Every structure is written in structure tokens, then in C-alpha cells.
């Protein structure tokens, strides 16, 4: 604020210097115009030298333009010696208004073009100068010292700084003691109460005696204490529940672990039993296979035996037929022997030898007839036995086939049972793996519950350090 005020004051002083320069310009040009009207213009050097002796004016020049030189001829002295900037103004007609810093101080330099006007300070320029309106007649060049302006600005700045510092010191002390009374004491009281809260005492809130920002801050802290108290209560209850829950989880995990181990052991025993059953089923399947082969062989042998019995019956029938022929021959032989005996008896002495032969032949025929009869009876009996054996074989063949089919069904059922037992073994193996995983999960759960119990105990110990309202 002080810097802004100083800069503003200095800008005002410089602006006043510019206005002073404009006033000097108007006075100078008015004086020169009067001298032209009174025909004393040749004495303008005296007039200008007097103005140059004015305070704060470093120099003042009136420069003649080209149009004036054409009409009135060349000027005198400084009128005809413009510097570079002055020549620029005479040529371009543009004002130069600037502050120049030098070793001796700051200066305000103004080079203002003088242009022809119909009315300038109550006088028409065009009445004396044969030029058009707006033509450059010359230039007014002045340099004004800003030493006094700078000095007054510095003095004002110093005073302003002293006043500002004094005011700042007064306000600082006032704010310090006021803040110490109105802010420091409440803050110190609030700090002590917050320290009490930080030590775990949540039994009471901070007493609030104001409604300003400190009061609102205390209200916020009280709200924080209430929230913290509720949080601690909730945390304490949760930690107690968590501790109880962790113990329950630990017990359950131990039961799960024991149950999983028992289940794994039981599954192992059942697996061994199934392996034994599978071994027995395999042996039964092998025996059934062997029995099936034997039944097939028996069936084939029975078929062959049946065919052999049929062949035997056919042979016996042929024997019976042949024996019938032998019996007929024996009977015919016996008749022939009887006839021979009769003829021998008729022959008398000559027929004795023939009678003996006929008698022997008769005996032989009788013996042959008896033997063939016995053989025929035996053959018939054998045929009956063979027929009975054939019937028995015919009756036995379906039973042998049924036995073979049953053995094959037993073998197929045994193979099915073996497949099912294998599937059950695989299922039990899978259950055993799952049981082992359950044991591992139960172990992990027991460890986690134990860790959770430790953390909940630590949390409960931390929360128990807070003092709460009953």
C-alpha cells in the first residue's frame, strides 16, 4: 500500500510537471505572439533567456520550421540548431514526452510540434503565416528538472514509511495482545483439553464460551471427541465380538481339522477294503472265465457223447438185426440136424455116424440159438441203457447251456462290479484328496483365527486405554 501510494504521489508530481511545461509553452508562445503583434519579435532572445532562467527549467528552445524559414528567413541562434530528436519532431510532427535519467537527476523532456491553427490562444496563426492549417511552424523544446519532484516524493515516501511503520507496529502490538487474549488463551485452553483427549480421556467435552471462529473450532473438536468416543465404543465392542468370534472359529477349525483327519483315515480304510474287494472280484472274474471255458468244454463233450450214444444205439440195432439172422440160421440148422437125425435113423447102421454128426450139429445149433438169444437180450438191454443215457444227455444239455449262460452272466456282472469298484476307488481317492485339502484349509483357518485372535486382543488392549463415559 505504501509503495502504491508513493508511486501514485510521484506520478501526480510528474503530471504536474508536465502541466507546468504546457503552461510554460503557452506563456512562451503567447509572449512571442504579442511580440509579433507589437513588432518587437527581434527581441525574442531576451524574452527566451529570461524564461530559461526560471527555476527548474534546464533549457527552453523555440525551433523554426521550414515553412517559417521560407516566409521569414532563417532564424537566430538556437532556433536553427535542432538536435536529432528535435529534427524528428519537426519532420514527423509527433510529440516527444519522456523522463530522462541523468547523473544529475531525472528530467522531464518535452518536444512539442507547433502547428498552424485558425485560433490559438485567441489569435489566428493563419493571419501571419501563409501556410495551411495543420502545417508545422516549428517546435517547442523544454527540459524541466525533476529534482524537486523526486526530493518531495522521497520525503513523502519516507514520511509515509514512518507513518506506515508506526501504524503497523501499533496494529501489530494491538493484534498481538488482542489475539493473545481473545485467541491465545482459548487456544491454550483448547490445546490442554486436546492433550487430555490425546491421552485417552474421552469422559468430557471442551467447555465453549465463545461463538467466533475459536468457538466454532471448539464445537468441531467436541464433535470430533463425540465421534471418537462412538468409534472407540464401537471398536471395543467389535474387538470383543471379534475376539469371541476368533475363538469360535478356532474351535470350529480344530473340529474341522479332527473331522477331516478322521474322514481321511476312514477313507483310507475304505479304500483298502475296496482294493481287497476288487482283488476278490478279479479272482471271481477269473474263476468265472475258467468255469465258462469248462462249461463250454462240458457242453461240447456232452454233444459228442450224445452223438456217440446215438452211434452206439445204431450199432446195437445192427447187432440185434445180425443176431436175428444168426438165430434164424441156428433154427434152420437145428431143423436140418433134426431132419438129418431122422434120415440117419432111417438109414440104420449106415447112418449112425451121420446121426452123431447131426446130433452134434443140433447141439451146436441149439447152443448158438441160446447164445444169440442171450446176446440179443443183452443188446436190447444195452440199447435201452443207451437210449436212457441219450435221454439223460438230452435233458442235461439245456442245463449245461443254462449253466454256461449263467457263468457268462456272472462273468459279465463281475466285470461290471469291477468297473464300479474302480470308479468308487477313484471317487474315494478324490474324496481323500479333498479331505487332505480340507485338513490344509482347516490348518490355515486355525492359524488365521489364532492370528485374528491376537490382533483382536491387541486392538482390545489399545481401545481399553481410552476412558469413556459410562
DSSP 183: I
List, edge to edge, every strand of the sheet that includes 136-145: 57-64, 136-145, 105-115, 96-102
Residue 139 to residue 90: CA distance in whole angstroms: 6
Does residue 155 lie in a domain region?
no
In this predicted structure, what is the pLDDT of residue 124? 77
Q: What is the pLDDT of residue 181?
A: 66
Q: Same structural domain for residues 239 and 355? A: yes
Residues 250, 389: one domain?
Answer: yes
In-domain check, residue 125: yes
Among 129, 146, 163, the domain boundary falls at 146
d(CA 341, CA 8): 200
User: Dmax over Cα atoms in the chain, in whole Å?
Assistant: 246
* Shared-domain flag, residues 298 and 437: yes
Whether residues 311 and 406 fall in one domain: yes
Question: What's the pLDDT at 182?
Answer: 63
Quick one: 208 exposed, middle or buried, by C-beta within 10 A (0-12, 13-18, 19+)?
Answer: middle
| 94 in any annotated domain | yes
For the entire predicted model, the pTM comes to: 0.34
Q: Which three cell numbers stand for residue 223?
A: 464433535
Q: Is residue 102 assigned to a domain?
A: yes
Distance, in Å, from the CA atom of 391 to the CA atom of 244, rounded to the nearest integer, reads 88
404 in the same domain as 275? yes
> Do the domain assignments include residue 215?
no
Are residues 381 and 258 both part of a single domain?
Answer: yes
Distances (CA, A) of 114 to 51, 54, 77, 131: 18, 22, 19, 13
Asked if 12 contacts 170 with a C-beta cutoff of 8 angstroms, the reply is no
Please report whether residue 194 resides in a domain: no
In a domain, 95, yes or no: yes
Whether 111 and 239 map to the same domain: the answer is no
| Number of domains the chain contains | 2
Select from 103, 124, 146 the last residue of a domain.
146
Per DSSP, the chain holds a count of helices (H) and strands (E) of: 8, 4
Report CA 91 to chain centroid distance, whole Å.
Answer: 80
Please answer whether residues 304 and 310 qualify as being in contact, where contact means their C-beta atoms are separated by less than 8 angstroms.
no
What confidence score (pLDDT) does residue 291 get? Answer: 67
**Where residue 118 sits, what CATH number does that domain have?**
3.30.450
Domain boundary, last residue among 126, 146, 166: 146
The CA distance from 341 to 360, in Å, is: 10
Q: What is the CATH number of the domain that holds 299?
A: 1.10.287.950
Which helix (H) or strand (E) segment is 141 a member of?
A: strand 136-145
Q: Find all residues with CB under 8 Å of 78, minimum gap 6, and list them.
A: 61, 62, 63
Q: Is residue 193 part of a domain?
A: no
Domain that holds residue 348: 233-463
Q: Given this model, what pLDDT does residue 329 score?
A: 76
pLDDT of residue 36: 76
- 137 and 237 inside one domain: no
- Mean pLDDT for back-to-back runs of 10 residues, the chain (470 residues): 61 72 76 77 76 77 80 73 83 85 80 82 74 83 78 75 81 76 70 74 71 74 76 74 72 72 72 73 70 68 69 73 72 73 70 65 71 71 71 70 72 75 76 73 74 72 64
Amino acid at each position: 500500500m505504501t509503495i502504491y501510494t508513493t508511486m501514485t504521489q510521484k506520478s501526480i508530481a510528474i503530471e504536474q510537471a508536465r502541466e507546468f511545461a504546457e503552461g510554460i509553452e503557452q506563456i512562451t508562445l503567447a509572449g512571442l505572439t504579442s511580440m509579433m503583434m507589437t513588432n518587437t519579435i527581434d527581441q525574442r532572445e531576451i524574452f527566451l533567456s529570461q524564461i530559461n532562467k526560471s527555476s527548474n527549467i534546464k533549457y527552453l528552445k523555440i525551433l523554426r520550421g521550414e515553412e517559417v524559414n521560407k516566409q521569414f528567413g532563417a532564424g537566430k541562434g538556437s532556433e536553427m540548431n535542432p538536435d536529432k530528436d528535435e529534427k524528428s519532431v519537426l519532420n514527423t510532427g509527433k510529440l516527444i514526452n519522456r523522463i530522462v535519467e541523468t547523473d544529475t537527476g531525472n528530467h522531464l523532456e518535452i518536444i512539442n510540434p507547433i502547428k498552424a491553427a485558425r485560433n490559438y490562444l485567441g489569435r489566428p496563426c493563419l493571419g501571419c503565416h501563409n501556410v495551411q492549417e495543420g502545417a508545422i511552424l516549428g517546435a517547442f523544446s523544454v527540459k524541466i528538472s525533476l529534482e524537486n519532484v523526486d526530493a518531495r516524493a522521497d520525503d513523502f515516501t519516507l514520511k509515509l514509511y514512518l507513518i506506515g511503520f508506526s501504524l503497523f507496529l501499533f496494529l501489530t502490538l494491538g493484534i498481538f495482545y488482542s489475539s493473545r487474549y481473545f485467541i491465545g488463551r482459548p487456544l491454550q485452553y483448547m490445546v490442554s483439553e486436546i492433550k487430555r483427549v490425546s491421552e485417552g480421556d474421552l469422559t468430557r467435552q471442551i467447555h465453549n464460551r465463545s461463538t467466533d471462529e475459536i468457538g466454532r473450532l471448539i464445537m468441531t473438536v467436541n464433535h470430533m471427541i463425540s465421534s471418537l468416543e462412538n468409534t472407540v465404543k464401537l471398536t471395543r465392542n467389535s474387538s470383543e465380538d471379534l475376539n469371541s468370534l476368533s475363538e469360535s472359529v478356532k474351535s470350529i477349525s480344530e473340529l474341522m481339522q479332527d473331522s477331516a483327519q478322521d474322514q481321511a483315515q476312514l477313507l483310507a480304510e475304505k479304500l483298502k477294503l475296496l482294493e481287497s474287494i476288487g482283488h476278490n472280484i478279479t479272482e471271481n472274474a477269473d474263476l468265472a472265465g475258467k468255469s465258462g471255458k469248462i462249461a463250454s468244454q462240458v457242453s461240447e463233450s456232452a454233444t459228442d457223447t450224445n452223438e456217440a450214444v446215438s452211434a452206439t444205439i445204431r450199432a446195437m440195432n445192427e447187432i440185434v438185426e445180425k443176431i436175428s439172422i444168426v438165430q434164424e440160421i441156428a433154427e434152420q440148422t437145428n431143423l436140418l440136424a433134426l431132419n438129418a437125425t431122422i434120415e440117419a435113423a432111417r438109414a440104420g447102421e449106415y447112418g449112425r455116424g451121420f446121426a452123431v454128426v447131426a446130433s452134434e450139429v443140433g447141439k451146436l445149433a441149439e447152443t448158438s440159438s441160446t447164445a444169440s438169444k442171450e446176446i440179443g437180450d443183452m443188446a436190447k438191454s444195452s440199447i435201452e441203457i443207451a437210449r436212457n443215457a441219450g435221454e439223460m444227455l438230452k435233458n442235461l444239455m439245456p442245463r449245461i447251456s443254462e449253466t454256461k449262460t449263467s457263468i457268462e452272466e456272472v462273468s459279465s456282472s463281475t466285470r461290471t462290479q469291477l468297473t464300479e469298484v474302480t470308479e468308487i476307488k477313484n471317487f474315494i481317492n478324490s474324496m481323500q484328496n479333498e479331505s487332505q485339502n480340507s485338513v490344509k484349509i482347516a490348518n490355515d483357518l486355525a492359524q488365521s483365527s489364532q492370528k485374528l485372535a491376537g490382533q483382536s486382543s491387541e486392538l482390545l488392549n489399545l481401545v481399553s486405554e481410552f476412558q469413556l463415559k459410562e
